Structure 1
Amino acid sequence: MYFNQKSILAADYLRLSREDGDKLESDSIRNQRSLINDFVKQHKEIQLVEEYIDDGYSGTNFDRPAFQRMLEDVKRKKINCIIVKDLSRLGRNYIETGRYLEKIFPFMGVRFIAITDHYDSATGSDDADQIIVPFKNLINDAYCRDISIKIRSQLDVKRKNGQFIGSFAAYGYLKDPEDKNHLIVDEYAADIVRLIFNLKIDGYSSQRIAAWLNEMGVLPPLEYKRSRGMNYNSGFRSGSDPKWAVTSINRILQNELYIGTMVQGKNRKINYKVKKSSPIARENWIRVENTHEAIIPEESFQYVQSLLKIDTRIAPKRKSVYLFSGFVRCGDCGENMVKRSTTKKGKKYCYYHCSTYKNKEGCSSHLISEKMIYEVVLDSVKKQIALLTEEEKIIKKNGMDTYKKVESRSLEQQLMALYEEVERYKDLKARLYQDMVDGIVSREEYHEYNQRFTEKMQKAEKAKQETEEKKEKLSAEEKRMHPWIEDFKKYENIQSLDRKAVVTLIEQIIVYSKEQIEIRFRYSDEMQKMIEAVQIIRERQERKGEFV
């Protein structure tokens, strides 16, 4: 290709990616410009008419604003020569860089110069260029891939150490000015998060919570961050007047970040050439506990997770769910019981009956008045609190160590049983292999039974690990003997039920008939251990003649 020496209108193209930012000063924008200016001074036939800079853009693709603007200026005949420091400044994608050098630039009549690589398309291409230039492009591509792998590994190490990796902290938190990988509480936004959780526990639906926040003029997360001067953007924004939405509320209610647990690595880029990310399986997320100050107590967070799973639809013209919504179940079929109302002589009566029966799919009505359920539940709550309070006094006075020993002994027994189970399946797998060798079982039978034994062994191993974690947690609980009982003691003088009390204390209300209603309380396992501990204390006192 030949160019008119008097009409070489050149542009210098400068690029520096985030990855290059840690390299030597020779790759900086300033030094690229200086090198190109010195080159142009030595070539009087070249007139430098424009400069294009992509600072902070990767060379793995050509979707860069300054580069695209430069191509448009080439089309408008504003420039016909492009000068770069080296081939890697043009791009690090082997295939795309070769396509621009061999097809696009020649077709557009563009002279291309890479100074330090001694490449000039105007001098014609010899055999050496045909070998060396593609090879250098390949090296640049490999370098980019290597950098991508190293950066990804470094980020994963930081994630596993509980360090925050992200441009912006989640709503309710700020990046620590002294450590960008650590989160600190944003008190204003944290108060809104606490309010959202409390409203949910009080029976409000996500839709109603969003509407209430909008009515109060509370800025949604995106707009709040913008109001604080953050250049924040999100794919969740919609419309010219963004407001709180159900999706925003649910994301907050389900985010473990608010209990001090950092959860990262939910998505990963497909590769270093493609910006698009793909979701990672939940079990492969990186979770690290106690990395920052919690906004929501773990107990409250778990209450909300259970609420999100049960049926909490709101009746027309109501702001919150019914008192027992999602908690009342049929004792026979196990399905939810639904509420209905009727009016007699101007007075309204409310009943619950089996949803299976209502849908004409079997079972029986199990019809029971809401008033009866209310009275039974309230009475049971009072008795349960009185019992737990009395038992705690006994344990505190006579046997705190006994209580811990009972729980510890129970965990030890579980661990021993699980250990024996794991060893048993290991032995079975070994004997099974020998049976196959001896011809007692076929190869197909061996693989079938071996798979079964492996699955059972893995299940036992998982249970053993969970039990060991419980034991460690028990050992760590020195200040509070049984913190869960505090949830019950809050309602020591309870005279009426509200949604928060039901959510906090009760797991299920099972109706078999009007005469048989079972109340399943939360922390039933812990309650049983406490009862066992008190029984041991009383037996010991009886033996000593001390028990009254």
Structure 2
Amino acid sequence: MYFNQKSILAADYLRLSREDGDKLESDSIRNQRSLINDFVKQHPDITLVDEYIDDGYSGTNFERPAFKRLLEDVKKKKINCIIVKDLSRLGRNYIETGRYLEKIFPFLGVRFIAITDHYDSAAESDDADQIIVPFKNLINDAYCRDISIKIRSQLDVKRKNGQFIGSFAGYGYQKDPENKNHLIIDEYAAEIVRFIFNLKMGGYSSQRIATKLNEMGVLPPLEYKRSRGMKYNSGFRSGANPKWAVTTVNRILTNELYTGTMVQGKNRKINYKVKECRPVAEENWIRVEKTHEAIIAEEIFQYVQSLLELDTRTAPDEDSVYLFSGFLRCGDCGQNMVKRSTSKKGKRYYYYHCSTYKNGDGCSSHLISEKIVHAVVLEAIQKQIALLVDAENIIRDSGMENYKKTEFDSLEKQLTVLHEEVERYKDLKTRLYQDMLDNIVTREEYHEYNQRFSDKLHNAEEAKRELEKKKEKAVVEGKREHPWIEDFKSYQNITQLDRKAVVTLIDKIIVYGKDRLEIQFKYADEIQEMTEVAQNIREIEEKEGRFKCGA
């Protein structure tokens, strides 16, 4: 290829990417520039007319702003020579880099020089060059792939250790100035998050929550971050005057981050050459609990998740949903009960009936007055709380507040015994086999005793597994014991139902007829266990003459 020595109009192309592993000082933009300038000084026939820099762009693809601008200037004949420090600065994609060197640059009449690789497309090439240059490109490609794998592995290790690796903390948090991989609470935004959860617990729909925040003039998350000087960009922004939207509110209401749990790895790049991300199956997300201070208690978060699954249609001209919306179920078909109203002598009456019946798909109406539902539910809540408080007082007065710990310790002891039993039968089976080899027992005796030991070993292992399940359950219940008790006791003097009380205390209300209801409370098993413990204490004290009625 022939170039007019007086018309070599060159551009230096500089690229740096930490993602590719370009961490050496020699790869810095400043050192690349210095090397190219020294080279040009030694070649007076070359005139350096412009500089193109892609700082922070990967070499695995050629969608880089400065490189694309460089190609446009080449097509406009402003440049006919490109100089880089080495071939990896042009790119680390073996196929694409080879295409530019062998097809695109020659077609455009561009001379290409890679200084430290001693490559100059204007020089006479020999067979060695035909082999070495593609081989170097292949090495650069492999190096990039290797670095990508290592970086991905390092990031996964950080995720599994509960370290935050995102560029921006979630709304309500900020990066710890002393440790960028740790989150601390942003008090102002955290108050907004708590406000959103409280409104949801109070029966507000997500749309009404968004409207209220906009009326209050609260900046949405994206604009709040920008107001604090962050160069934050998001695909969720829309319009010149961004507002809170239902999607924004729901993202906050479903974000486990607020419970102190770090959830990362929801998306993953296809590979080191394709930067597009694909969603990862939820079971493969990386969850680590208690990595940072919680803004929302776990119980409240779970209540809200259950609310989001309910029928939460907002009542007309009201800020909140109907009191029992999503909680009433038909006792026969299991479908939702729907609210209706009727007028009689100038008064409006409200009632519920089965949605299956309403749609003409069978079942019966299961008609019931809202007034009756309200009265029965209120009375049931009062009785349930009274029962719970009574049981708690009996347990506390007996000095057995830690009955969960007592149960846990008992399970631990039983597991130790069973573990020893399992090991003993394993040892007996081994010794029995040796006795047969030593002719101490016959083969028939060996099979007979071995079957007995195998049966006993199987039974011991089954019992051990069951106890381990009970132990695991006891650990979980022990952790959540106090919060749910306090939730119930906070309504100890309840005289009027509201949406928050229904959401906090009740799981579902099953309607069998106009005067037949079944109310399923949250933590029903735990309450039953407490009442049984209290009943046992009472019976023991009555036998010993220590229990006093009304005490």
Superposed pair shares fold, TM > 0.5: yes
1:502 counterpart = 2:502: yes
Q: CA shift at 1:475, angstroms?
A: 6.1
Q: CA shift at 1:262, angstroms?
A: 0.3
The residue that corresponds to 1:19 in the other structure is: 19
Aligned partners of 1:414 and 1:336: how far apart in 2?
45
Residues 372-415 of structure 1, C-alpha deviations (whole Å, 9 max, x = no match): 11011111111111111111111011042573267538977998
Residues 94-126 of structure 1, C-alpha deviations (whole Å, 9 max, x = no match): 000000000000011100000111100001332
Aligned partners of 2:283 and 2:261: how far apart in 1?
15
Cα distance change of structure 1 residues 133 and 467 upon mapping to structure 2, 3 Å threshold: farther
Aligned partners of 1:166 and 1:461: how far apart in 2?
43
Work out whether residues 406 and 532 of structure 1, in 8 Å CA contact, stay in contact via their aligned partners in 2. Answer: no
Give secondary structure in 2 for the equivalent of 1:151. Answer: helix
The residue that corresponds to 2:272 in the other structure is: 272
The residue that corresponds to 1:87 in the other structure is: 87
1:246 counterpart = 2:246: yes
Give secondary structure in 1 for the equivalent of 2:122. Answer: helix
Residues 403-459 of structure 1, C-alpha deviations (whole Å, 9 max, x = no match): 32675389779989x99xxxxxxxxxxxxxxxxxxxxxxxxxxxxxxxxxxxxxxxx
The residue that corresponds to 1:428 in the other structure is: none
1:122 counterpart = 2:127: no
Residues 60-94 of structure 1, C-alpha deviations (whole Å, 9 max, x = no match): 01111111111111111111100011000000000
Cα distance change of structure 1 residues 157 and 356 upon mapping to structure 2, 3 Å threshold: same
Give secondary structure in 1 for the equivalent of 2:231. Answer: coil
Aligned partners of 2:263 and 2:466: how far apart in 1?
23
Q: Which amino acid aligns with 1:470?
A: K
Q: CA shift at 1:466, angstroms?
A: 6.4
Question: Among 471, 474, 479, which residue is 2:474 paired with?
Answer: 471
The residue that corresponds to 1:142 in the other structure is: 142
1:202 counterpart = 2:202: yes
Q: CA shift at 1:472, angstroms?
A: 3.4
Work out whether residues 414 and 467 of structure 1, in 8 Å CA contact, stay in contact via their aligned partners in 2. Answer: no
The residue that corresponds to 2:341 in the other structure is: 341
Cα distance change of structure 1 residues 364 and 406 upon mapping to structure 2, 3 Å threshold: farther
Work out whether residues 259 and 296 of structure 1, in 8 Å CA contact, stay in contact via their aligned partners in 2. Answer: yes
RMSD: 2.5
Work out whether residues 323 and 502 of structure 1, in 8 Å CA contact, stay in contact via their aligned partners in 2. Answer: yes
- The 5-angstrom pairing of residues 26-425 of structure 1 reads 26-400=26-400, 403-404=403-404, 407-408=407-408
Work out whether residues 61 and 273 of structure 2, in 8 Å CA contact, stay in contact via their aligned partners in 1. Answer: yes
Give secondary structure in 2 for the equivalent of 1:129. Answer: helix
Residues 148-177 of structure 1, C-alpha deviations (whole Å, 9 max, x = no match): 000000000000000001110111111111
Q: CA shift at 1:543, angstroms?
A: 2.5
Give secondary structure in 1 for the equivalent of 2:37. Answer: helix
Residues 443-483 of structure 1, C-alpha deviations (whole Å, 9 max, x = no match): xxxxxxxxxxxxxxxxx999987655433345668xxx633
Aligned partners of 1:272 and 1:125: how far apart in 2?
32
Residues 204-262 of structure 1, C-alpha deviations (whole Å, 9 max, x = no match): 10011111111111111111111111111111112222111111111100000000000
Work out whether residues 337 and 353 of structure 2, in 8 Å CA contact, stay in contact via their aligned partners in 1. Answer: yes
Give secondary structure in 2 for the equivalent of 1:59. Answer: coil
Q: Which amino acid aligns with 1:310?
A: L
Work out whether residues 20 and 147 of structure 2, in 8 Å CA contact, stay in contact via their aligned partners in 1. Answer: no
Give secondary structure in 2 for the equivalent of 1:352. Answer: strand
Work out whether residues 20 and 59 of structure 2, in 8 Å CA contact, stay in contact via their aligned partners in 1. Answer: no
Residues 314-341 of structure 1, C-alpha deviations (whole Å, 9 max, x = no match): 2333321000111111112211111000
Which deviates more from structure 2 when the two are superposed, residues 461-470 or residues 504-513?
461-470
Aligned partners of 1:352 and 1:188: how far apart in 2?
42
Aligned partners of 1:487 and 1:366: how far apart in 2?
32
Work out whether residues 402 and 537 of structure 1, in 8 Å CA contact, stay in contact via their aligned partners in 2. Answer: no
Q: CA shift at 1:506, angstroms?
A: 0.8
Identity between Structure 1 and Structure 2 (%): 78
Aligned partners of 2:342 and 2:281: how far apart in 1?
48
Aligned partners of 1:476 and 1:308: how far apart in 2?
25
Aligned partners of 2:469 and 2:251: how far apart in 1?
28
Which deviates more from structure 2 when the two are superposed, residues 271-280 or residues 506-515?
506-515
Q: CA shift at 1:24, angstroms?
A: 2.4
Aligned partners of 2:407 and 2:354: how far apart in 1?
38
Aligned partners of 1:233 and 1:322: how far apart in 2?
38
Cα distance change of structure 1 residues 240 and 402 upon mapping to structure 2, 3 Å threshold: closer
1:9 counterpart = 2:9: yes
Cα distance change of structure 1 residues 16 and 464 upon mapping to structure 2, 3 Å threshold: farther
Aligned partners of 1:268 and 1:465: how far apart in 2?
36
Work out whether residues 20 and 144 of structure 2, in 8 Å CA contact, stay in contact via their aligned partners in 1. Answer: no
Q: CA shift at 1:528, angstroms?
A: 1.2
**Unaligned ranges ≥5, structure 2:** 420-462
Give secondary structure in 2 for the equivalent of 1:312. Answer: coil
Work out whether residues 411 and 467 of structure 2, in 8 Å CA contact, stay in contact via their aligned partners in 1. Answer: no
Aligned partners of 2:178 and 2:472: how far apart in 1?
33
Work out whether residues 372 and 515 of structure 2, in 8 Å CA contact, stay in contact via their aligned partners in 1. Answer: no
Q: Which amino acid aligns with 1:543?
A: K
Cα distance change of structure 1 residues 127 and 402 upon mapping to structure 2, 3 Å threshold: closer
1:483 counterpart = 2:483: yes
Q: Which amino acid aligns with 1:383?
A: K
The residue that corresponds to 2:456 in the other structure is: none
Aligned partners of 1:181 and 1:225: how far apart in 2?
18
Runs of 4+ in 1 over 6 A off after TM superposition: 409-416, 460-466
Give secondary structure in 1 for the equivalent of 2:482. Answer: coil
Aligned partners of 1:465 and 1:93: how far apart in 2?
53
Cα distance change of structure 1 residues 520 and 474 upon mapping to structure 2, 3 Å threshold: closer
Cα distance change of structure 1 residues 414 and 284 upon mapping to structure 2, 3 Å threshold: farther
**Unaligned ranges ≥5, structure 1:** 420-459
Give secondary structure in 1 for the equivalent of 2:300. Answer: helix
Q: Which amino acid aligns with 2:285?
A: W
Cα distance change of structure 1 residues 402 and 205 upon mapping to structure 2, 3 Å threshold: closer
Cα distance change of structure 1 residues 25 and 464 upon mapping to structure 2, 3 Å threshold: farther
Work out whether residues 92 and 144 of structure 1, in 8 Å CA contact, stay in contact via their aligned partners in 2. Answer: yes
Aligned partners of 1:145 and 1:109: how far apart in 2?
31
Q: Which amino acid aligns with 1:392?
A: E
Q: CA shift at 1:19, angstroms?
A: 3.3
Aligned partners of 1:75 and 1:317: how far apart in 2?
64
Cα distance change of structure 1 residues 415 and 379 upon mapping to structure 2, 3 Å threshold: farther
Give secondary structure in 1 for the equivalent of 2:510. Answer: strand
Aligned partners of 2:124 and 2:297: how far apart in 1?
71
Aligned partners of 1:414 and 1:257: how far apart in 2?
38
